[in-house]
Amino acid sequence: MKKLALFALCMMAVFAVACGGNHSHGNANAANKEHDHDDDHEHSGEKKEHGKKKIGSFDVAVVQYGDAKRGGEGVFEVNTGASPEANQKMKISMWLGDKDGKELSPKITPAWAKEHNDFDGHLEVRKDAPDKAWLWIEIDGNKASWELEVK
C-alpha cells in the first residue's frame, strides 16, 4: 500500500512538471531570464504604445501592459526592429529611473521572445517610486528613455 501511494505521488509530480505549459511572470528577476514564450503568451492590462526612439542604429518601439504600480511591476515589450540573429547577440538592459537615468529599479536584461522577435521586461516598481518615472533602455552602450506615469 505504501508503494502504491509513493508511486501515485511520484506520478502526480511528473504530470505537474510535464503539463505545466503556461508560463507566468511571478517576480521581476525570475521573469527576465532568457526564455521562449509559449504561443499563447499574452500580457494582461491595457496596451499603451509609447512610440519609437532611436537607440544607436535601432528604431526601438516600446509597449507597456497595464499600469506601473507601486509595490508591483511594470510590464514592457521592446521591439528593436532588428533581425532575430541581431537580437540574440544584442546587449540590452532596461530599468526605471529618474529623468537623468538614476536607477529607481534594478537594471535587468529583458528576455528575448523568439516567437515575436521582441524583448519582454518586467520591472520592479518600488513602493516609494515618484509619480513620474522614465523607462530607460540601453542597447550596446546607447540609451534612450520614455516618460511614464506610476500609479
pLDDT value at residue 45: 82
Q: Which domains does the chain have, with CATH numbers?
A: 45-149 (2.60.40.1930)
What is the DSSP code string of 130-142? -SEEEEEEEETTE
Angstrom distance (rounded) from CA 134 to CA 98:
6
| Per-residue pLDDT tens over the stretch 43-64 | 678 999 999 999 999 999 999 9
CA angle 23, 21, 117 (to 5 degrees): 60
All 3 cell numbers of residue 146? 520614455
User: Could you read off the pLDDT tens digit of each residue along the chain, which spans 151 residues?
Assistant: 555 444 444 344 433 333 333 333 333 333 333 334 444 456 678 999 999 999 999 999 999 999 999 999 999 999 999 999 999 999 999 999 999 999 999 999 999 999 999 999 999 999 999 999 999 999 999 999 999 999 8
